[in-house]
Structure 1
């Protein structure tokens, strides 16, 4: 089996799996309890908080634990709006955001919020000038993701943050779920106010994530409950998940430069192999534009072919890839991201995403390329019969 769907979920690091098991076995007390077992569990939570804060140059109190990226993104948009909605009526969101941002913004729009949807170019990148020009006196929030989950396109986060520094009333949210462990990270120095992360995207456990919240920023909770997380996110602490996430975060970021170099090498090799398959078209940035793309994602289209047909044909050959994002993979609609890039209905309706990670090497890329060629070869008669 060749698993090339890391953007959907990554295999848990063996060390992390061992740690989660040990914490589950030994530290099962509620971290909010006042007795010694509870305080020992809370020490683990706070140590994990410091680990993640250090990786961003943030303060421990700026790390808020959640159940994952979807909750973090919803909390960022709706939590800000609950606090600022009386004085601000406007929000700015890019058209290529993950569904958890896009649909949260749509819900707010349906409730009366004025949302400006920022377009992208044919590579899926937003214009800093477009974002800055959209700011109004009543703008509460700008939300632009760090790395696109379908194409791997890297957005100009630092530059957007600098442009927004002229508007101190505007909060800047970044969905960083696909960036952690793949790109250098910044927070305060980038002008970011809120940054979302999810453990299972960087070899941690599922069901746990975080939201960085700049010190002094008022954020309303999504859930009514206890006073955990400074009253902003009630609920019993997932101590094993939080500890496992912090360990996975440390492992993913401590050797970042080396891992990026290796993954970019694999990406270049894969793109060279796919260039030999004329039926496939690359979506996003090529090998000569690596500063604008993440090192672990390749998105290609087989115009005129339904993506699920190609996915299942590759599965028959022992290869696992995806269509669109995992959250939207069962949809038969064209990719919203590729449509926003203006790539046309055939390309937007016929794309697959290949994403890889630490366990892959050049032999895996060779095997993947060979099986893609075989799968496309088997599908060619079907394409001709359709034509």
Structure 2
């Protein structure tokens, strides 16, 4: 039996401390080896909380011989550099979404990983939740007839203006932070052969750096199934999708970030009325980690075409977005950065 994968974490970002690191505690297939931060005190706080080594500086963690793989929860604009450096150091990589803010960079990193025989995965966790497999099963059994359309929404209330989501140089904005979820769920149910028909982005200004704060997109499959996607940093919390078919529809709430103890509900509506299906809780965080670790054990280092296709669709949404007020600034490649205020994300 292969020994536990020794994992290092590049930063003590909120998502790492709140969701990923707690999920590691009871897994026999992984051991947290070290956490790195630019702030020595922060590294020590996180390391003490989770029983691992504290490292000052990301490069120092990559130099460690007791680290087999790294988790990268840095801001998106920093992913390309640190994923590339991790791969060059011979580490498998689990990177938070989006993998990068550039299709070119995403494709290059997948090839770099494959050339080194390393696993690279983008950490969209929700596809690993059992509720979506249950929806697939309902569709495959013909419960709602032929699929006609999909509508997906992911919006959250505004954050503090200093939040990294509002800093373009760090890859901020609603499309990168939230828009990828509706895109990914469209790919999950409709396949990746999608065309972006229309898109719009609305910008705001925070910390003197305008980024998109909300948007929408319409995608289409080759046989005419439409996907209507909405995302935003300036609305009520909504995390849902609806799949409409020729004989009924399926609705899922708490679709993208359900806690591990949440019993998911699926509502199936047909001409005779609605039926609510309550499923057992499932841990998408643990499942996503398990999939990454399983890929390492099995040596599954083939280039992940799904990561690249996801980046292509997100970039196409930005390219097709209607002119916004004020104008949306392209983030295809982040500018060589002017000084920005970045509270070490974790």
TM-score, normalised relative to structure 2: 0.33
TM-score, normalised relative to structure 1: 0.30
Could you say which structure has the larger radius of gyration?
A: 1
Q: Which has the higher strand share?
A: 2
